[in-house]
Chain A
Amino acid sequence: MTETPALMVEAVGVRKHFAGVEVLKGVDLKVGRGEVACLIGPSGSGKSTFLRCINHLEKHDAGELLVDGQLVGYELRNGKLYERNDKQICAERARIGMVFQRFNLFQHLTVLENITIGQVRVLRVREDAARARARELLERVGLAGRDGYYPAQLSGGQQQRVAIARALAMDPKLMLFDEPTSALDPELVGEVLDVMRDLARSGMTMIVVTHEMGFAREVANTVYFLDAGVIEEWGDPREVLTHPTSPRLQNFLSKVL
């Protein structure tokens, strides 16, 4: 039995290109267990791509990416990197929750079924146990009693909270949020951020791509400013967001704040 690594996510020089365009030009990042990291930066800076590399929705081209001490998508044996097969990658991914900008709830399933399907089909949990867990999570995100609704019958904020519950049902060790409030009406942003704040307080390790600077300042342990595929500046949010040193971050903050 190896000791549990202190870092939940460790990225060293992660690179990624799409059709000749380099989107990530060597990203370094360290997120400890139970910590919250916020990724900020202009659109097209590679924030979402980096997030998607962490759960292998995108394959990174170079660099080292470790989640919970394990290489993402590869296995190191006898000095060679072996690509993991689909089944292994899916098993890894099941323990990394992801929340999308556009919610992506399963439209043909009820709220309850959205939360049970992963437990039943992937984790092989019994149907009734899965349902009980789903109800528990719905209560936690403030949506008790909405079991039978279809996603189309809910507001954006409610859908996003169901999406968070769906991710939590997989019992994740890490949660990734890809601009979770960007598609919401302003008055609905608060209810989603409240749920995320509670989640952070409960000790969940989280990486959040966001434009909500107030949330970053309040909840994050570390803020990373990503620009043009590199981390321009990082550190304690109160420090980074109030006294930015790089001119790019100063320029960015002057636009969003």
Chain B
Amino acid sequence: MSTDGDGSVKVVPVRHVGRWVGVAVALVVVAMIVHTLLSRLPTGQKACQGAGATRVCHAVTEWRFSWDIVFRYFTTSEILHGLLITLELTVIAMAVGIVLGMVLAVMRLSPNRVLSGSAWTYTWFFRGTPVLVQLLVWYNIAILYPRVSLGIPFAPVSFLTLHTSTTFTALEAACIALGLNEAAYMSEIARAGLLSVDEGQVEAATSIGMVRRQTLRYVIMPQAMRVIIPPTGNEVISMLKTSSLASVISVIELLGAATNIYSANYEIMPLLLTASLWYLVVTTVLSIGQFYLERYFARGALRTPPPTPLQRMGRDVAGILAKFPSRRVVSGVVER
């Protein structure tokens, strides 16, 4: 065993050959993507300067991805208005979905067969038909029900009558269709969350005299949230993009606004990119929000909360710095 002057032994870390090959491949792919994103194409035109013998010409090029056009439209009022409608659709549909989904989940777990059966049937129907079909059905609901009246089934009594074609806008139809569809998925997520809470928690709450409603609200729900939040975040992000389907029923949301513009000026790719970039921006913001929400509801479940990205970055930097002076073992203890 060779030792240094101070009696410590040098530690040779394991070489991860496969990992380094993977890193090299990944770097090449990243470079290719960056290159193509920033590449320029000749337009076929020439720009010349000067006259006679000093005349210099060079080929005119433009961005392959037309970044100038993408960013020119990025903050136009039509796109921003479309973005607003997209956010509105997402928020309303998710609100309907979460509230109704929770109700359905509690119904599904009820010992009463009629309640659990109705919840099951709801989920079966709304999960079993395409959301695009549901959008079209709600948009055209006036064909089926020209009038909606509130009354007693099978009795010639009605308290309130509405004309669907005048009361339902396309945006409202989209909110209802997306919200009701979402509720079916949310109910399954919420049910999984409620079932994840240990039976002992319910017994403890019951033993201190809480009624079922209090147990649900103060003991089960807060703990179920830990399981419910991550897939719900996924659903929000998914809804943000699913809402683009509403463009089919003439709701001018983000994608609708982009298609409207490119059908007039034929700048198809730049406008699709504009819309995509906005979807990415919103998704990023939502992901950050989800991280902090998860961290909040994880309290008590973990002895130490997970680090925030900033803390993790700090640790990574500290870790890399610590690697520079080689680690040495002194009587079995690793020193840095």
Residue ranges of A at the interface with B (Cβ–Cβ < 8 Å): 55, 57, 86-87, 90-91, 93-98, 100, 102, 104-110, 117-118, 121-122, 150-153, 163, 166-167, 170
Contacts and interface: CB of A to CB of B under 8 A. Distances in A.
A110 B301 CA distance: 11
Given A150-B299, A150-B300, A153-B303, A106 B209 contact: no
Size category of the binding interface on chain B:
20 to 34
Contacts of A87: 211
B212 A170 contact: no
Contact of B204 (A94, A95, A106, A110): A106
Nearest 5 A/B pairs, CB to CB: A94-B209, A118-B208, A104-B204, A104-B200, A98-B207
B209 A93 contact: yes
A44 to B, nearest CB: 19
A118 B300 contact: no
Contacts of B300: 107-110, 150-152
Interface in B193-219: 198, 200-201, 203-212, 214, 218-219
11 contacts: A94-B208, A104-B201, A104-B203, A106-B219, A107-B301, A108-B301, A117-B218, A121-B210, A122-B210, A150-B299, A167-B208
B233 interface: no
Interface of B: 198, 200-201, 203-212, 214, 218-219, 222-223, 226, 297, 299-303
A93 B201 contact: no
A93 B204 contact: no
Nearest to B211: A90
Contacts of B206: 57, 90, 93
A142 B13 CA distance: 48
A165 to B, nearest CB: 12
Most buried by A among B205, B209, B223, B300: B209
B22 to A, nearest CB: 37
Contacts of B212: 86
